[in-house]
Amino acid sequence: MSHIIAVHSFRGGTGKSNLSANLATCLGLAGKRVAVFDTDLASPGVHVLFGYEAAADDLVLNDFLQSDAPIRRCAHEVTPDPVRHAHGAIYLLPGSMQSDRIARLLREGYEVEKLNDAMFSLADELKLDCVIVDTHPGINEETLLSTAIADSLLMVMRPDTQDYLGTAVAIEVAQRLDAADIRLVMNKFPDHFDPASTREKVASTYGVPLAALLPLSEDLLTLASSGLAVLSFPNHPWTEQVRSLTQSLIDDLMG
């Protein structure tokens, strides 16, 4: 059975999409078959990290949600060579980058239940080990319904006051919806901050585990989402944290 991992944040700019793409890559390097649903349809961006550019006849997630296109035709293989050599596979279901289509979707909305059903059907068709859902930031109906069906919810935040407050609200809402296995990921963590005191603060504030502390990195800023950090910097502390998070998910969710 495929496991669903929702990657969410209360605010934009936390590095949520970057984590989704790199987590998928680490899972692929472990030999897993993964699909990434970019459901941040107001500002899709996961495709950039995988270097995917839609051809004229490529279908995207908007086509499934608003035009009843088959979900399989909206899934495009973006497997990097190192993942292929590790016998893994990555499929991307991107959102449209066309402004008129984004505006239409924001205006009309979509049926979340239809999207959730498609995750399970695609997982069966492609024999997926894992589905990663890159959500729209904030608290809205679409995001909440998607996170509620996830086997694991990764809440991504930065170490600033607005994120601390907003993330508390988001976690509380997720807990009321009985979201399973909520884990916190702290991104852009300055090297002069104390990891131990941060872990204590997270434990006392949220009551959920801090699954990863991803360091603020000049290397990642230079990469500027033009590639996958875990492949570009395989020995980097940021990569080591994502790799450790990946292994914990494999151990706890996938046996």
Domain ranges of the chain: 3-253
Cα gap 162→168, rounded to integer Å:
10
Q: What angle do CA 17, 185, 114 make, to 5 degrees?
A: 50
In 3-state terms, what secondary structure has residue 38? strand
pLDDT of residue 255: 62
In three-state secondary structure terms, 36 is: strand
Helix 112-126 to helix 141-148 angle (10° resolution) is 40
| pLDDT at residue 179, as a whole number | 85
pLDDT of residue 221: 86
Q: What is the CA radius of gyration of the chain?
A: 17
Distances, alpha carbon 86 to alpha carbons 11, 27, 82, 130, in Å = 34, 10, 6, 16
Q: Give Cβ neighbours of residue 221 (< 8 Å, ≥ 6 apart).
A: none
Which tokens hold the place of 125? Answer: 């068709």
* Dihedral (CA of 224, 230, 236, 238) sign: positive
Class of domain 3-253: alpha beta
Per-residue pLDDT of the chain (255 residues; tens, 9 = 90+): 789 999 999 999 899 999 999 999 999 999 999 999 999 998 999 999 999 998 889 999 999 999 889 999 999 999 999 999 999 999 999 999 999 999 988 888 888 888 889 999 999 999 999 999 999 898 877 777 777 789 999 999 999 889 999 999 999 888 888 888 999 999 999 998 999 988 888 888 888 999 999 999 999 888 878 899 999 999 999 999 999 999 999 998 766
Core vs surface per residue 56-85: b (16+ CB within 10 A) or e: eeebbbbbbbbeeeebeebbbebbbeebee
What dihedral do alpha carbons 14, 17, 20, 26 form, nearest 10°?
A: -90
- Segment (H or E) for 187: strand 182-189
